Structure 1
Amino acid sequence: MRRYIVDMDAPAADLAHRLVEAIRPLGRCIVAYSGGVDSAVVAYAAHAALGDGALAITGSSASLASGELDGAIRIAQAIGIQHETLATDELADPQYLRNAPDRCFHCKTELYSKLEQEATRRGIEFILNGANVDDLGDFRPGMKAASQHRVRSPLADCGLDKNAVRALAKHWGIEIWDKPATPCLSSRLAYGVAVSPERLSMIDQAEAALRTLGFGNLRVRLHENDLARLELSLADLARMADAQLRSDVAAELRRIGFRYVTLDLEGFRSGSFQQLVPMEELTRFSQPSRA
């Protein structure tokens, strides 16, 4: 697939046409579809280009946050693309469970291997993911896994960054155009703290409880000794000045199973554990920038 340098100020309709036409020659494809805005835009474009020749598949496992699968199904139905779920078994992989900085490599290897099997069974050559240009030149073990399978990244190949992707989603009326990123639950575990279904459930329950209390963009990071480090938006950090609210939050997280509940004064930051990744790992799994 040809790669483009894109004028991000171009009208969304022009970017939409470019993306759809880039996918059209593929004939048939499987979209690795998480239900996030990036993969939803790829699913929409693939359906527009290929109709029933496009199939969206969502990997389902204990690492998927509650409600995410239902949301993915709802958006796929709104788009009109054929959609299926596929059970993945990354929690059976000791390399994944040990939760080293390359954890995402093993998760995506499991996903793409199973998608390749599905593609082969159905006579489909191409698998599309939702990586955009902002995912390049960064620590992305999952992109390394994609490079070892027959996966294409049409958003990145068309030169689209996250802002352009959101503009496209809004242009196409995809309701989650402004949805915050929702990576898998394992990304909340500090590197070296083993992944387990019990810990993933604790994180999932804690984040759901905080949202019930009105907190928005957040992460519950789990460290050794069942310590919870809460990353909240700056507005929600200010709310935590209320002593009763702090007490309610701490009590709920202790009920879920956390022994310690702490508040990160720097607030929410996506991928905050990456600052702990050794330089050799950063070099090994970084993607070349196309700037």
Structure 2
Amino acid sequence: MLDSKLTNLRATLHSFGSSLIAYSGGVDSVFLAFVANEVLPGRSVAVIADSPSLPRRELSEAQDIAIRFNFPVRVVKTSEFSNPAYTANDSNRCYFCKHELFEELGPLARELGLSVIAYGENASDIGDFRPGAKAAGEFHIRAPLKEVGLTKTEIRSLSARFGLPTADKPQMACLSSRVPQGEVVTEQKLRMIEAGENLLRDLGFFDVRVRHHELNGTGISPPATTPPHLNNLAVSPSPPALARIEVGVAELPRLLDSAGAARIVEALKRIGYAHVTLDLQGYRRGGANDPAPKPHA
């Protein structure tokens, strides 16, 4: 069954004649770009959308993978942060992001003479709330992984078969997803989030999210200055905020180690967070928007 889906994927990509792959460095887009380059050598280009919501670490890793596996990659700057509908951060934020992306990719595909634009939506995404898929439909963007029925688990399995380093990569989402819906997304918030997540990954944590919550009306002030060793992260004072850390459930005991936790709290406060908390439920998709508990009578 899996080999049959792979055969169908190759046939689908071959039928494109040429392709531009929307590429992020995640599990799905790396696999899609790799197979597209295999099927359409010299006629497929992977394109990364660079904006404040893309961590610098992710950008670098995505470029490194393209070099290692010898598929062409280009970087385009996108401007979703100039759109108030995006920064308002409602439930359609992803729609405005993808709309901006595909608006950029269309002219580029024509310039490069590439006939089909494709992205990495897969069969596991069917039934999810996917506003980005609406934008894809409006621009006639193909989703070949979904079209041939490949699930996330199957894509990981095939990625391992081909030796792709993303086979066991944690699921990633843009930095804006760390800000709860209804709280405005700003570049400053994302730099703080990125600095916090880099800290935790450098300490060896695998599944990591730093959720950024505004503290309105608390009267708490953040640090007045940024420590010198954080200057390269472009972190600066901002309105008071709380960092809610999520790591994988299996990683919770190590983070709860008193000495290690104290160091993490100190570092996050230096980044600019007024309060630092740990979510005892561990990492989960969409954790920034968990519903509020219902009050008990």
Q: What's the TM-score bracket when you normalise by the shorter of the two chains?
A: 0.7 to 0.9
Q: Is the counterpart of residue 256 in structure 1 residue 276 in structure 2?
A: no
Partner of 2:234: none
Choose the corresponding residue for 1:117, options 94, 107, 115: 107
Distance 1:99 1:108, change over 3 A: same
The letter of the residue matching 2:270 is R
Partner Cα distance (1:274, 1:95) in 2? 18
CA-CA distance at 1:78 after TM superposition:
2.4
Structure 1 residues 241-280: Cα deviation after superposition (integer angstroms, max 9, x where no partner): 3222222111111100111111111101022245549xxx
The letter of the residue matching 2:102 is Y
Partner Cα distance (2:14, 2:286) in 1? 34
The letter of the residue matching 1:249 is I
Q: Is the counterpart of residue 104 in structure 1 residue 69 in structure 2?
A: no
CA-CA distance at 1:116 after TM superposition:
0.9
Which SS does the other structure have where 1:191 is aligned? coil
Question: In the alignment, is the contact (CA less than 8 A) between 2:9 and 2:148 conserved in 1?
Answer: yes
Partner of 1:286: none
Partner of 2:11: 21
Partner Cα distance (1:219, 1:26) in 2? 37
The higher-RCO structure (CA 8 Å, 6+ apart) is 1
Partner of 1:243: 258
The letter of the residue matching 1:264 is D
5 Å matches for 1:47-58?
47-58=37-48
CA-CA distance at 1:89 after TM superposition:
0.9
**CA root-mean-square deviation:** 1.5
Distance 1:165 1:274, change over 3 A: farther
Distance 1:274 1:241, change over 3 A: closer
Structure 1 residues 39-63: Cα deviation after superposition (integer angstroms, max 9, x where no partner): 0111111111111111110011111
Partner of 1:233: 248
Question: In the alignment, is the contact (CA less than 8 A) between 2:170 and 2:206 conserved in 1?
Answer: no
Partner of 1:288: none
The letter of the residue matching 2:121 is A
Unaligned runs of 5+ in 1: 1-6, 278-291
Partner Cα distance (1:127, 1:274) in 2? 31
Which SS does the other structure have where 2:167 is aligned? coil
Partner Cα distance (1:143, 1:275) in 2? 23
Which SS does the other structure have where 1:130 is aligned? coil
Partner of 1:218: 208
Question: In the alignment, is the contact (CA less than 8 A) between 1:16 and 1:45 conserved in 2?
Answer: no
Which SS does the other structure have where 2:100 is aligned? helix
Partner Cα distance (1:112, 1:53) in 2? 19
5 Å matches for 1:157-236?
157-225=147-215, 226-236=241-251
Partner Cα distance (2:254, 2:195) in 1? 21
Relative to the length of structure 2, the TM-score reads 0.86
Question: In the alignment, is the contact (CA less than 8 A) between 1:27 and 1:50 conserved in 2?
Answer: yes
Which SS does the other structure have where 1:181 is aligned? coil
Question: In the alignment, is the contact (CA less than 8 A) between 2:43 and 2:114 conserved in 1?
Answer: no
Question: In the alignment, is the contact (CA less than 8 A) between 1:99 and 1:194 conserved in 2?
Answer: yes
Partner Cα distance (2:291, 2:143) in 1? 28
Distance 1:49 1:131, change over 3 A: same
Partner Cα distance (2:290, 2:130) in 1? 13
Q: How many residues align?
A: 267
Distance 1:131 1:79, change over 3 A: same
Question: In the alignment, is the contact (CA less than 8 A) between 1:37 and 1:177 conserved in 2?
Answer: yes
The letter of the residue matching 1:243 is S
Partner of 2:31: 41
Q: Is the counterpart of residue 74 in structure 1 residue 89 in structure 2?
A: no
Question: In the alignment, is the contact (CA less than 8 A) between 2:27 and 2:166 conserved in 1?
Answer: yes
Partner of 1:149: 139
CA-CA distance at 1:150 after TM superposition:
2.1
